[in-house]
Amino acid sequence: MRQSMRIGRPLLAAAAAPAFTTLDTPSRCEGWFSGGGCPTAKPVKVQTPTPSDIAISQAVPLTPVKQVFRKTFNLRDEDLFSFGPYKGKLSLQVYDRLKDQPDGHYVVVCGINPTPLGEGKSTTTVGLSQALGAHLGQKVLTCIRQPSMGPTFGIKGGAAGGGYSQCVPMEEFNLHMTGDIHAITAAHNLFAAAIDTRYYHENTSTAAGIWKRLVPQDKSGKRQ
């Protein structure tokens, strides 16, 4: 008996309860090529010894993000906000438009200890998605967090996966993506500055001093 794990409607997967399902018959993605496999997948020519992550990333011919979502998930161009040709954000209206579609399955890659070669959660997650999408012909969407600058420039390094199982363009994913991490950084800095200023003034000012500054004397020495 052949069993397979069905991954369907990935855009709704995050809203569905985590679940694993086994089917008696193999599941294929409706509307995909009869030969199976992801329509935007590209063959990989494995080299020995394995090149560096950056070399692999820069050697990959990229597919425009709108083409990926249009061919693979039948989304419209207006469903995506592009940040350059290869990055973008999905509109929240996509969920409302597809809310009546059957939910998919949410597969979680839990925290693991990396191997000496560096294969960790991201590499495992991307590799699993490649296996399900490019080789087993399932509709699959990989969801991993956006890296922050501290770990990227620290001992940990980037968070795009590694080797032939990584997100591309790797440099933009690690350093900027759509700018959200920078917006969060700016918000944290603003909040920290506001707290510091409030703390400073409350510890260096008196009620009398504040009153004199807020209600200064006029030329006759009166405060009104």
184-to-15, 149, 188, 189, 216 alpha-carbon distances in Å:
24, 12, 6, 9, 39
Q: In sequence order, which residues have a C-beta less than 8 Å from that of residue 69 and are 6 or more positions away? A: 75, 79, 80, 88, 90
Q: Percent of the chain having pLDDT more than 90? A: 8
Element (H, E) at 186: helix 180-204
pLDDT one-digit tens code per residue, 105-146: 888 888 767 666 556 888 889 999 989 988 888 888 888 888
Segment 135-151, tens digit of pLDDT: 888 888 888 888 877 76
What band does 29 get if pLDDT is binned at 50, 70 and 90? Answer: very low
User: Is the Cβ–Cβ distance between 159 and 152 less than 8 Å?
Assistant: yes
In this predicted structure, what is the pLDDT of residue 30?
43
Mean pLDDT, rounded, for 148-161: 75
Q: pLDDT tens digits for 177-215? A: 888 888 888 999 999 999 999 999 888 888 888 888 888
Spatial neighbors of 146 by CB under 8 A, at least 6 apart, are 173, 177, 180, 181
- 92/128 Cα distance (integer angstroms): 26
pTM (predicted TM-score):
0.65
Nearest to 14 by CA among 91, 95, 87: 95
